[in-house]
Amino acid sequence: MTITYEFGDGLYVNLTNRCDCACIFCIRKSDSEAIFAHDLWLPKEPTREEALEDILNWDLPTYSELVFCGFGEPSYRIDDIVWLCDRLREAVPNLPPIRLNTNGHASLIHGRNVAPELAGRLDRVSISLNASNKADYCEVTRPRDREKAWDAMLDFTREAARYVPEVALTVVDFEKSEEELSACRALADELGVILRVRTYAD
């Protein structure tokens, strides 16, 4: 069971397979050997204690970031992520920045505004924007809660920016026109966050 793995110069943490989306590009649907070599599909979710033990096996200060990412949507485990951040901050001097990679549905999933709980725990949050408008977003990410998920993602972004030092919306440049990217930039500006345009990798 792979709870932690290196990617680039960061250390990634995988806590769940669960997700409320079914993105058309999701790697969980891919049969790529590279992906399955990582054995990221969890036969069972690790407990928070198992995850802590696994994370502490690595020389954390040598990484550029510690990233809660996961094969699914990590914010299903937001209570455990908060707990893990507290334990790690107590246990490890010179901890690298901690980032959450998310679809931005945490508050929707949990039925409460979780953003205040991120203060002092996370240094960075990256939220997948995926599209410049609600209709395209729903088509690409196929969220369980449909249009509500787009609004929830934008609300979460706005709220997270109040509590976390660095919040970014991310979009992949694949099949995106300059117009769409400009609309994404405008959305990010309106929400007071950074827009990161990532290059598509097949």
Which residues are near ligand SF4 by CB under 6 A? Answer: 19, 21-23, 26, 28, 72-73, 103, 141
Q: Alpha-carbon distance 193 to 120, whole Å?
A: 18
Of 72 and 96, CB closest to ligand SF4: 72
CB of 131 to ligand SF4, least distance (A): 12
Give the shortest CB-107-to-ligand SF4 separation in angstroms. Answer: 15
**With respect to ligand SF4, which residue has the nearer C-beta, 103 or 157?**
103
CB-CB neighbours of 15 under 10 Å? 28
Which structure tokens are listed for 106? 């945490």
Give the ranges where 24-168 is alpha helix by DSSP (H). 33-37, 48-56, 78-91, 106-110, 134-141, 147-163
- Give the residue with the Cβ less far from ligand SF4, 12 or 60: 12
Output the smallest distance, CB 111 to ligand SF4, in A: 19
- Beta carbon of residue 21, minimum distance to ligand SF4 (angstroms, whole number): 4
Name which of 60 and 169 has its Cβ closer to ligand SF4.
Answer: 169
Rounded distance between C-alpha atoms, residue 160 and residue 104, angstroms: 9
* CB 96 to ligand SF4: min, Å: 23
User: Nearer Cβ to ligand SF4, position 103 or 126?
Assistant: 103
What one-letter code names the amino acid at 173? D
Of the candidates 64, 61, 91, 80, the one whose C-alpha atom is nearest the C-alpha of residue 14 is 80
